[in-house]
Structure 1
Amino acid sequence: MENEPLVKNYDSDEQDVRRRLLADRTISEPNHDKDGQSTYSRSRSTPSGDEKDDSIDTVLDVPTKCVEQAKEVGKLVVQYVVDHTHLPHWLLDNEYLVSGHRPPMPSFNQCFASIFRIHTETVNIWTHLVGTLIFVIIFFYLVTRPSSEVPIEKKITFGLFFLGAITCLLFSTLYHTLSCHSQQVSKVFSKLDYCGISILIIASFIPWIYYGFYCEFGTKIAYLLITALLGSGCIIASMWDKFATPEYRTCRALLFMAFGLFGFVPTCHYVLLFGFKYAFTTGAAQWLVVMALLYITGACLYAARIPERLAPGYFDIWFQSHQIFHIFVVAAACVHYYGLCVLSMHQPNFNDCRKGIAPAISNVVNSVFN
């Protein structure tokens, strides 16, 4: 019943268009009079006042109809969204996002179709979906390079980083797409989303520790083991059902921030080992600092729910804290990749490592036997 006025409006519009087309066709038909001159030519040469008014009205009606059609398309795009107060308890997350929420849609087809519609999760989906595609392209470009151009060890270490980034961004995209399906599906993909963050942090540490402590085998293994243990702890915490609830938003942010800040320990060790100047030029430590600032800033905005906390209802669709956090995550991963490229270009080879180790061993042997 609600659609009847809309249908009537469309019918009346079609009738108006048909009447105008018939009128134009009548005017344009070349009817010959007794003198052999067509009225068509006379009508084009000397149009009457009524014809001028009709043509002006037709021209003025075009933008009006375009605006009306755009409004109708907009209604079709957003007509299915609901306010925050109409959501079930398992979809309640951010009370400062007042409107534009998807209701429960127990169909995977509907959930994936919502990717192309406007709602509170649209930007969250597309930011990490685009990031996933970017890293997939770079990953395949890297692994398909010949070994003479990209060594096998670089393919492995960088490949682990790319796989971690792709896993994190893909899990996040799937969660924001399917979170409205059902409570059970939302819970499963929420856990995968948080596990993906831990995987990305672990994958980010691996190539930096590998190249940063290239000749320090024992130090390298120790830091990699500590990273794996801390990451496993975060993954286990992510499996806890209450971890995904809104009440633990700040705890989630602090946990992942603490895990990420562990990177300052090997960074400080690297600075002490090789010197400040070397670490922040050849060692590309400055890019680690930029990456950390991006992650921390995004996590703080996410935990504080800024800017939507300051103006509830004004950031429901665009520029909410979660969207900013997503953009910062992708930017931080890109910055980290650039820093790894700089660091790997200046890596020593195994011969240089042996040259550095041999004098140290001889000095130890001489001190023991002399």
Structure 2
Amino acid sequence: MGVREKRTTFDRCSEDSKHNDESPQEDEGFMGMSPLLQAHHAMERMEEFVCKVWEGRWRVIPHDVLPDWLKDNDYLLHGHRPPMPSFRACFKSIFRIHTETGNIWTHLLGCVFFLCLGIFYMFRPNMSFVAPVQEKVVVGLFFLGAILCLSFSWLFHTVYCHSEGVSRLFSKLDYSGIALLIMGSFVPWLYYSFYCNPQPCFIYLIVICVLGIAAIIVSQWDMFATPEYRGVRAGSDSSKLLND
């Protein structure tokens, strides 16, 4: 038997583009294949998805053909992006319709809104404040938490289909941003609630910061991103909505 020459993914891309007309005939015989041949055929189909991504002609795919690290929501059956090993392709996908389009744009527009509002607030004339420096710092911490939270979130929803490592990294940033938003949103509320009594304000701030830092530490565990902790993550998202 001769040695079979190995082909790269890009070689397969060029060959697939030449033989697109033959794919319907191959699909007809798919059911008659042995399990081993079916698995080999499935691998070739997955490589074809990757080729389309590189060529910028990708299409949304159903949930059942996603790799395990992209199967986070069993109830979204259609409209998923395929794995995209290119940041450029990930960012271009924000202009396409898929399961993350709403998440990306709501957080991106929210980030721009809070950024503009924060800049407007910080550059207001000091005569509008009783204590200009203190009040700007206090409310500025809230704007900083909101901007970081929304920035991490829209970036996560944009690039999480890049690879498993990138998905885990930005997922940790996303939940860290939620904790930062919660901590930042408490600062102005406590400042004005205990304006004439700073001691309990200081105690509450210490408690909030300790809990927030603990939440950030927990969110760095890979176990936190597993399906078993989906309820905990949903609780984190609910906290973000309440603070928004």
Per the TM superposition, whether the score is higher than 0.5 is yes
- What is aligned with 2:220? 239
Per-residue Cα deviation, 1:111-130 (whole angstroms, up to 9, x for no partner): 00000001100101001001
Which residue of 60, 69, 73 corresponds with 1:81? 60
Deviation at 1:179, TM superposition (A): 0.3
Using the TM superposition, give the Cα deviation of residue 332 of structure 1 relative to its aligned residue in structure 2, in angstroms.
4.8
Question: C-alpha distance in 1, partners of 2:118/2:233?
Answer: 29
Secondary structure at the aligned position of 1:148 is classed as: helix
In structure 2, what is the equivalent of residue 212 of structure 1? 193
Question: Match for 2:116: what amino acid?
Answer: I
Distance 1:247 1:82 in 2: 25
> What is the rounded CA distance, in whole Å, between the counterparts of 1:213 and 1:123 in structure 2?
39
- Aligned-pair CA distance for 1:217: 1.7
Report if aligned partners of 2:108, 2:151 keep a CA contact under 8 Å in 1.
yes
d(CA) in 1 for partners of 2:101 and 2:232? 25
1:146 positional shift: 1.7
Once the two structures are TM-superposed, the CA of residue 183 in structure 1 deviates from its matched residue by 0.5
CA distance in 2, matches of 1:200, 1:78: 37
Question: Does residue 1:147 correspond to 2:126, yes or no?
Answer: yes
Amino acid at match of 1:82: I
Q: CA deviation at 1:152?
A: 2.2
Q: Tell me the SS of whatever aligns to 1:215.
A: coil
Normalised TM-score (structure 2): 0.73
TM-fit CA distance, 1:181: 0.3
1:188 alignment partner, SS class = helix
Residue 88 (structure 1) shift: 0.6
Letter in 2 for 1:190: S
Give me the whole-angstrom Cα distance separating, in 2, the residues matched to 1:164 and 1:154: 16
Aligned equivalents of 1:212, 1:153: Cα separation in 2: 15
Deviation at 1:253, TM superposition (A): 3.3
Matched, 1:126 2:105: yes
CA distance in 1 between partners of 2:57 and 2:179 (Å): 34
- Ranges in structure 2 where 5+ consecutive residues have no aligned partner: 1-18, 22-55
Structure 1: how far apart are the matches of 2:96 and 2:234? 29
Compared CA separation, residues 127 and 191, structure 1 to 2 (3 A): same
**Superimposed CA distance per residue, residues 259-293 of structure 1 (whole angstroms, 9 cap, x where no aligned partner):** xxxxxxxxxxxxxxxxxxxxxxxxxxxxxxxxxxx
Provide the aligned C-alpha RMSD in A.
2.0
Following superposition, the deviation at residue 188 of structure 1 comes to: 0.3
1:103 to 82, 85, 89: 82
Identity score, percent:
52
Alignment-mate amino acid for residue 132 of structure 1: C
Post-superposition Cα deviations, 1:72-111, rounded to whole Å, max 9, x if no partner, equal xxxxx99511110111111110111001101110100000
**Compared with structure 1, are the counterparts of its residues 194 and 223 closer, same or farther at alpha carbon in structure 2 (3 Å cutoff)?**
same
Within 5 Å, which residues of 2 pair with 1:188-199? 188-199=169-180
CA contact (8 A) 1:78 1:119 kept: no
Task: Identify unmatched segments of 5+ residues in structure 1.
Answer: 4-76, 258-294, 297-327, 334-370
CA displacement at 1:148 relative to structure 2 = 1.4
Cα-to-partner distance string for 1:31-89 (whole Å, 9 max, x where unaligned): xxxxxxxxxxxxxxxxxxxxxxxxxxxxxxxxxxxxxxxxxxxxxx9951111011111
Whichever of the two has the greater Rg, that structure is 1
Partner of 2:204: 223
What is the aligned partner in structure 2 of residue 165 from structure 1?
Answer: 146
In structure 2, what residue type is equivalent to 1:225?
I
